[in-house]
Structure 1
């Protein structure tokens, strides 16, 4: 790790170090070959700062900001900013970039303000604490995995080499696509095309590009893939088609991992044809004649407010148990079919009579249900509370 305050081989004209401790370029700045610059202050670029061939580091125990009217382009870049580096203007990397500490934030409502990897520039050091929180872009000739994430979770998306010929970009959003925070339209997960039976309500990606490619998406335990499929072969990449105003099936050409972590690759698509991408299922989760809706989002919006088991009325002698991940009973009800569409249904409020206080809101996360019903075999599986 390099911590530099000495500037060597730096050609400066019209540079101001302001009273607010910012490096403000109004003219021409170049870091020459073998030059090394460490910024411990904000950078404002209103001039030319895109012919650099040396090393640039950003260092702070607090936060730093890069802003201005013009995009700076650096050669080798190291980011060690404990409380994160904020980009208010796009920043380019021409050769190599390393994450040491902190995330790189870009404004999610301004997709052209991104961390730009140029000429197939690679990166190193990404993890759940170090990634691009917002948009990253690539221009090059190789396959590329975007180092993007949200909510202290690295969630890459990958494209193939042909898609990087023209600039492609991507961002990950850990939020319900029915209620996106940074898009003017919503993406109704109840509206999907043929060969689909359900759409994730937990997350989505915005992948942009005008070249045909396969897109690979990743999941972790917070993706709650078991709420969509029991068998990964039924999982699909899906995209929101703004012309049809529905989710469409984008295929499953390769898949690795298990229900907790893994990745899935789509058919060949043009990313710009779809506003956002996420996961869907090509098969209903069925138990005998029962359809189990395993996502519960008790926020009064009319989407999955209660835990529903469709077809349960056929087996009226039934009893439902819901447990948290530590095996503590949080809900129990006989004849659940009579209450599952009412306020007495399981809606993320504890009804446990022992260690979990009755009436308390249960935290977001994965829970387990057990269903006993006379006439069919016992059932058990995952369900997920999303608030």
Structure 2
């Protein structure tokens, strides 16, 4: 037995539906430096929250966590050919490492969720490994919920005015006019005067009582081209519990194109709205009325060969008084620089959720916006980061 792993043997192996499970009806404690690997289901009916070390779920089969008491792990990793299904909540107090496979919670049961406690974070999230269902945060102010559906990551970025004692979010690839996973009908034609269309393809459900801004992104599957031919009119909208209609939550100029981009809301209290999604503004008002011009798309490969090692825009030589910002495809800011020249080499310089900062940002598509102060012009475009 690992000297760092203290297993008080009050558990037994039981058989459920011809599959074994680890049944904890006593106390399991993972000490610092210890590891506990699950290759079978976990049934937890007693406190399992005094843990350090690493717990992991591994193997080719789908695994399930069930029981009556939520488990809490310090470091947790998932490496499953299939997914980890939660029938009871699961808490993480340090790092969640998404290697392979999704963590699933029932979309029809918001009381079951994966909870990121206090300063906990995650790594490795991607389209193949994320949370399908509800993710929650406890005592965190700013967070990117690593949520999506079976095909794509569809995260929501929340920036709150104060720490959230608790907040929770899930993504739904469902028509809000007739959702299959939650009660209610959120008719896309019941809108405020400054909304022209509301997406009937997808929505997010966000709970929290602290005033916050959120950032929503869209991709080709969002089909925003069905609703508008002008990406600058895309806005976040929310179904108001008070007025029982869609409210325009616009707070910033959208970034991107009709097939890829993101937009940030104004500050609102999430609990005032049943669900939120993307819509189209009817009246071009500030900040949407401010013209945004497009520059070329760029390729950056910081590999030391002297070719495209940094992000360089020749036009900025004519406007050295500028402000550059770079975002990932979900709207998370990864870089900003006043009086930008060519400082971006694929490394984040802002305080965000980029954990492996020294290793550089992942390869992929990023958005940039640059404001030319002297000319009072805004530009935006894409860059592709390679290694």
> Shared topology, TM-score over 0.5?
yes
How much does 1:246 deviate?
1.1
Aligned to 1:330: none
Secondary structure, in 3 states, of the residue corresponding to 1:27?
A: coil
Aligned to 2:357: none
| 8 Å CA contact 2:164, 2:208 repeated in 1 | no
Q: Give 1:24-39 correspondences, 5 Å limit.
A: 24-39=23-38
TM-score of the aligned structures, taking structure 2 as reference length? 0.70
Secondary structure, in 3 states, of the residue corresponding to 1:260?
A: coil
Aligned to 2:56: 57
Aligned to 2:154: 155
CA RMSD in angstroms, aligned pairs only: 1.8
Could you say which structure has the larger radius of gyration? 1
Cα distance in 2, alignment partners of residues 232 and 259 from structure 1: 5
Q: Give 1:67-86 correspondences, 5 Å limit.
A: 67-86=66-85
| 8 Å CA contact 2:242, 2:272 repeated in 1 | no
Aligned to 2:339: none
Query: Deviation digits for residues 150-197 of structure 1, max 9, x if unmatched?
Result: 131110001014465211110001111111012221110011012111
Cα distance in 2, alignment partners of residues 165 and 105 from structure 1: 23
Aligned to 2:47: 48
Aligned length, in residue pairs: 281
Secondary structure, in 3 states, of the residue corresponding to 1:275?
A: strand
| 8 Å CA contact 1:235, 1:280 repeated in 2 | yes
| Unmatched runs of 5 consecutive residues or more in structure 2 | 285-387
| 8 Å CA contact 1:126, 1:147 repeated in 2 | yes
Cα distance in 1, alignment partners of residues 75 and 120 from structure 2: 9
Aligned to 1:191: 190
Cα distance in 1, alignment partners of residues 41 and 162 from structure 2: 33
Query: Deviation digits for residues 24-67 of structure 1, max 9, x if unmatched?
Result: 11111111111111000100110010110111010010100001
Inter-CA distance 110–181: structure 2 relative to 1 (3 Å threshold): same
Cα distance in 2, alignment partners of residues 284 and 194 from structure 1: 8
| 8 Å CA contact 1:221, 1:260 repeated in 2 | yes
Inter-CA distance 163–180: structure 2 relative to 1 (3 Å threshold): farther
Cα distance in 2, alignment partners of residues 130 and 163 from structure 1: 29
How much does 1:255 deviate?
2.7
How much does 1:259 deviate?
1.3
Work out whether 1:234 is the aligned partner of 2:209. Answer: no
Cα distance in 2, alignment partners of residues 164 and 36 from structure 1: 32
Query: Deviation digits for residues 66-122 of structure 1, max 9, x if unmatched?
Result: 011000000000101111000000100100011111111101111121111111311
Aligned to 1:11: 7
Secondary structure, in 3 states, of the residue corresponding to 1:143?
A: strand
Q: Give 1:79-228 correspondences, 5 Å limit.
A: 79-162=78-161, 164-228=163-227
Cα distance in 1, alignment partners of residues 148 and 67 from structure 2: 25
Cα distance in 1, alignment partners of residues 3 and 57 from structure 2: 13
| 8 Å CA contact 1:239, 1:274 repeated in 2 | yes
Secondary structure, in 3 states, of the residue corresponding to 1:113?
A: coil
| 8 Å CA contact 2:160, 2:211 repeated in 1 | no
Q: Give 1:273-292 correspondences, 5 Å limit.
A: 273-283=272-282
Cα distance in 1, alignment partners of residues 217 and 89 from structure 2: 26
Inter-CA distance 84–7: structure 2 relative to 1 (3 Å threshold): farther
Aligned to 1:266: 265
| 8 Å CA contact 2:104, 2:133 repeated in 1 | yes
Aligned to 2:242: 243
Inter-CA distance 116–177: structure 2 relative to 1 (3 Å threshold): same
How much does 1:10 deviate?
2.0
Cα distance in 2, alignment partners of residues 216 and 163 from structure 1: 17
Cα distance in 1, alignment partners of residues 35 and 53 from structure 2: 6
| 8 Å CA contact 2:194, 2:283 repeated in 1 | no
How much does 1:281 deviate?
1.0
How much does 1:233 deviate?
2.3
| Unmatched runs of 5 consecutive residues or more in structure 1 | 286-387
How much does 1:256 deviate?
2.0
How much does 1:11 deviate?
3.2
Aligned to 1:352: none
